[in-house]
Structure 1
Amino acid sequence: MTASLEHDDLANLFLSLGALQPPAELHGYAAGFVSVGGRITADGWLKHCIDLLDCETPNPEQSEALYVVYSSALESMESGEMSLDLLLPDDEFDLDQRIVSLGQWCQGYLTGFAMAGKQQNTAKQKAYSPDLTEAISDIAAIAQVSADEQTDEDGEQDFFSVCEYVRMAAMTIFLECNGAADNGEEQGNPPRLH
């Protein structure tokens, strides 16, 4: 497996780079980019990072750490084990901060999905299934989330449920967009999200 990602380590890297975006958004971007079939070299990914983060060119060590964001998203989605983990702050952070990060992850996902989708050959593009369209709409709605005052146990449970839904939606989108090409045949109905 690729080197592990830690939210706090990546946040510190972003601070040193003067990056304007949070780690969750970059990880979401990587997952969205990969979901629609985007594949890229380390140098190509670095260019995406510089544009998205609005930062100076990182040194080689920082570049390698940024590439881990992309490679870990790709590896977890290609594993076939539904092992994608959203890169969000851990439970030590207040619930409202984690909710905001989830919205940022979803925003990044949508941006990455759109960027890779634009690069696809038009002849390769196909109409998306109703399930995929619904999943993208749901992720777009979640991207608009804002923190509220609900910090009780129900709020924690709701947050966990929404994170799990987003994780499964991203995997389902990946399977639909990449499954037929990987199997060499048209794929039937993708797994239902709910």
Structure 2
Amino acid sequence: MSTTEDRPDFSTIADLFLSHGSMQSPAFLDGRLCAELALHDLTAEAWLEEVCHGLGIEQPRDRESGEALLAWRRQTLDALADAALNYEPLLPDDLFSLAERARGLQEWTLGFLEVIEDAGDKPRQGWSQALREAIEDLEALGGMETDLEDNAENENDLFALTEHARMAAMLLYTEQHPGQPQVESGEPIQH
């Protein structure tokens, strides 16, 4: 079983994107990845195709790059499906300024919401009120001010917003995949 420590960090994926000639933030594609895994059971092939399209390339430049992109998908899925509920969005870490981290969260949110919007109303029909409200809150987050000063208050606010996005992502996944993770039972999942 994978843990969140196995997941690549933001800088690793950003460097991988850069090696393919793209300055794009991985946060946007991570938001899309999370929503697609929840709504569409995104295959490895479809994910690789989507990342390559997003980077403006036909295929990863080498086998290691392709494996890293596929591992990103697999580890995200493992984290979303894990009963420990330890999924974390792929966002800039503390080495980045608060403004850069806020922009990363905004990009993640926009990618996540884009997939939900594209899915239409059908998946929404079975959603709980809590999930509907969480998604509405994320829609407001997509338009947030990202030019934040580095201070404790803004740091706390950004942490709370990031936690909200994380919880919305896990709620979407668990409602679309009832029974996994086995949160209520407290019984370990067999792998």
TM-score (norm 1): 0.80
Structure 1: gaps of 5 or more residues: 184-194
Change (3 A) 1:149 1:81: closer
Q: Is the 8 A contact 1:19 1:55 kept in 2?
A: no
Q: Is the 8 A contact 2:13 2:26 kept in 1?
A: yes
Amino acid at match of 2:157: D
User: Which residue number in structure 2 is paired with residue 151 of structure 1?
Assistant: 150
Question: Equivalents in 1 of 2:140, 2:68: separation in Å?
Answer: 30
Q: Is the 8 A contact 2:7 2:76 kept in 1?
A: no
TM-score (norm 2): 0.81
Q: Is the 8 A contact 1:11 1:23 kept in 2?
A: yes
Question: Equivalents in 1 of 2:105, 2:83: separation in Å?
Answer: 23
User: Which residue number in structure 1 is paired with residue 141 of structure 2?
Assistant: 142
User: Which residue number in structure 2 is paired with residue 56 of structure 1?
Assistant: 58
Q: Is the 8 A contact 2:79 2:86 kept in 1?
A: yes
Matches within 5 A, 1:112-123: 112-114=115-117, 117=119
Query: SS at 1:56's partner residue?
Result: coil
Question: Equivalents in 1 of 2:109, 2:160: separation in Å?
Answer: 15
Identity over the aligned pairs, expressed in percent?
31
Pick aligned residue for 1:70 from 70, 73, 95: 73
Structure 1 moving runs of 4+ over 3 Å = 112-115, 124-127
Question: Equivalents in 2 of 1:159, 1:134: separation in Å?
Answer: 19
CA RMSD of aligned residues (A): 2.4
Q: How many residues matched?
A: 177
Deviation, 1:52, is: 2.8
Structure 2: gaps of 5 or more residues: 182-191
Change (3 A) 1:51 1:114: farther
**Does 2:93 match 1:100?**
no
Amino acid at match of 1:167: R
